[in-house]
Amino acid sequence: MMEKIIQRGEYEWELPIGTVPNMRVPGRFYLSQQLMGTLEEGAVTQLANIATLPGICKNSLAMPDIHWGYGFPIGGVGAFTMDDGVISPGGVGFDINCGVRLMATPLHRSDLGQVKKVLQELYNIVPTGVGTKSRITASDRDLNRIMTEGARWTVDEGYGTERDLLWCEEQGCIEGADISHVSQKARKRGRPQCGTLGSGNHFLEIQCVEEIFDPEAAQAFGIEAGQICIMIHCGSRGLGHQICTDHLKILEDASKKYQIPLADKQLACAPLTSPEGEAYLSAMACAANYAWTNRQMIMHLTREVFSRTFSLSAEEMPLVYDVTHNVAKIEEHMVDGKRTTLCVHRKGATRAFGPGTHDLPPGCDTIGQPVIIPGSMGSSSYLLKGTQGAMEKTFGSTCHGAGRVLSRSQAKKLASGENIQETLARNGITVLAPSPGSIAEEAPNAYKPSGEVVKVVHEAGISARVARLNPIGVIKG
């Protein structure tokens, strides 16, 4: 398998047709020589498997945070033509619209005082971890609006501002959400969880802008050196997980009905034009809209803490941007010189639209879309911008994070959560979590170095560095 990989550029590699049986197009991935040692055969196979699906356009793709997942590899991108292409939950994941947002403040490191005190207050206020419930219980009517209007609901209810919507991918709502394709089970899980962080690799982090690479873009995004920012990483919670589970079953049957051979059962899919495909797309939109509402609610709670502690107004804590990294969206891209409508799946990959494209925030038409790349716990996160290179090479896509190199059990064997907490504290980083195990699983050495991953996308021209942010305090579930 690995011997079939062909190098096409300093950071570009190809899996030729024939790497696995029935590939319709080649696979392509972005990686440096330094990171090649982290490439797993399982992930390569998954990238090749995407290319077997009907209607796949140009290439199956993977970003430099590629690692072994299920269905698509993490870091996988697949674009499908509308007429004969398919949609698959294996290209989205259970956590629909898992994503990340960055909020700026007017504070600098010296303003923070006792970081641990602020962090503890955030930990007390933001529902975090397994089994937690939201501070609000959404009514059925609220839930319907959340699923169809997304973050717009939060603005109407006083949990956000109009400006927040303008600085969010899709303005916090994908159109076409249809609540009739969301089960009662999903609704039951969703109602008590809107505004909860979850667990695993989800987190809320206080960060400081350490370095500006692109002053013009940084100014357009509202970022300056030394500034304190808050990064929030979470998704659609039980509602999204249940929607994926429910539709996976329907699409498994649909794959047989439409006689689509599957290299991996998790690639269960249906034609985009089929009732089953349309049902999943519209239910997935419901979950995506819920996730944007979720992140907006958590940002609202964060603003409340900072407002109380530092006497700040919401306007002084603007949203820098919010990106999703688990979604399938209908987008227009140039394919062989022709404007073509595609269903672009990004599973552990982020949209990175370049200058002049649609859905850019105000004042960013010549800059490109902000892209947020969280680092692993204790390492740098990055703010990037989308590029024309991404539009040409990757359907406007880039990486989503550092990418795991160790399994959770391997990570726990290498160091205890307490040791990691102490080491990070010595480096000036405070971590609060409900258990040492959850810290150990997310240890920094379980991930690729975020700087190297970001270097690859920057050098490959599929997004460009704007700023680097370092963690000061983390709360995780």
247 is catalytic: no
Rama region for 395: left / alpha / beta (φ>0; ψ in -120 to 50; rest):
left
- Residue 440, token pair as written in the block: 């150990």
Q: Which range, of 89-97, 374-382, 456-464, 467-475, touches another protein by CB under 8 A?
A: 89-97
**Subset of residues 408 to 467 that bind another protein, contact rule: CB under 8 A:** 408-410, 434-435, 437-438, 441
Residue 77 burial class via C-beta count within 10 angstroms: exposed 0-12, middle 13-18, buried 19 and up: buried
| Other beta carbons within 10 Å of 427 | 10
Contact flag: residue 125 with another protein (CB under 8 A):
no
Q: Would you say 66 or 320 has its CB closer to another protein?
A: 66
Cα torsion angle, 306, 310, 313, 319, sign: negative
If you ran DSSP here, which 8-state letter would residue 360 be given? Answer: P
Q: Would you say 95 or 331 has its CB closer to another protein?
A: 95
Ordered DSSP codes for 151-192: HHHHHHTTSS-HHHHHTSGGGG--TT--GGGS-HHHHHHHTT
Residues contacting another protein: total by CB under 8 A: 47
Q: Would you say 95 or 169 has its CB closer to another protein?
A: 95
Q: Strands of 253-406 (E only): list them.
A: 270-271, 319-324, 326-335, 338-347, 350-351, 370-373, 381-385, 397-398
Residue 14 burial class via C-beta count within 10 angstroms: exposed 0-12, middle 13-18, buried 19 and up: middle
Q: Which range, of 55-63, 102-110, 370-378, 401-409, touches another protein by CB under 8 A?
A: 401-409
* Shortest Cβ 86–another protein spacing (Å): 16
Can you name the residues that pair with 319 across neighbouring β-strands? 103
Q: Which amino acid is at 168?
A: C
If you ran DSSP here, which 8-state letter would residue 247 be given? Answer: H
Contact flag: residue 135 with another protein (CB under 8 A):
no
Looking from the CA of 406 toward its CB, the CA atoms found within 13 Å total 18
Question: Distance between CA 69 and CA 71 in Å, rounded?
Answer: 7
Q: Which range, of 107-115, 194-202, 297-305, 392-400, touches another protein by CB under 8 A?
A: 194-202
Contact flag: residue 406 with another protein (CB under 8 A):
yes
In contact, 309 and 290? CB cutoff 8 Å? no
Q: Which amino acid is at 330?
A: I
Contact flag: residue 264 with another protein (CB under 8 A):
yes
* Shortest Cβ 154–another protein spacing (Å): 23
Given candidates 130, 166, 334, 414, which one binds another protein under the rule CB under 8 A? 130
Given candidates 27, 93, 386, 471, which one binds another protein under the rule CB under 8 A? 93
Q: Which range, of 64-72, 208-216, 220-228, 313-321, touches another protein by CB under 8 A?
A: 64-72
* Shortest Cβ 236–another protein spacing (Å): 10
Q: Which range, of 155-163, 193-201, 307-315, 452-460, touches another protein by CB under 8 A?
A: 193-201
Contact flag: residue 197 with another protein (CB under 8 A):
no
Given candidates 35, 63, 74, 194, which one binds another protein under the rule CB under 8 A? 74
In contact, 405 and 40? CB cutoff 8 Å? no
* Shortest Cβ 347–another protein spacing (Å): 10
Given candidates 86, 100, 244, 466, which one binds another protein under the rule CB under 8 A? 244
Active-site entry in 67, 333, 400, 458: 400
- Residue 164, token pair as written in the block: 């927040």
Q: Site residues (CB under 8 A) for another protein?
A: 40, 42-43, 67-71, 74, 93-95, 129-132, 185, 188-189, 198-200, 238, 241-242, 244-245, 248-249, 252, 264-266, 268, 404-410, 434-435, 437-438, 441, 477
Active site residues: 400
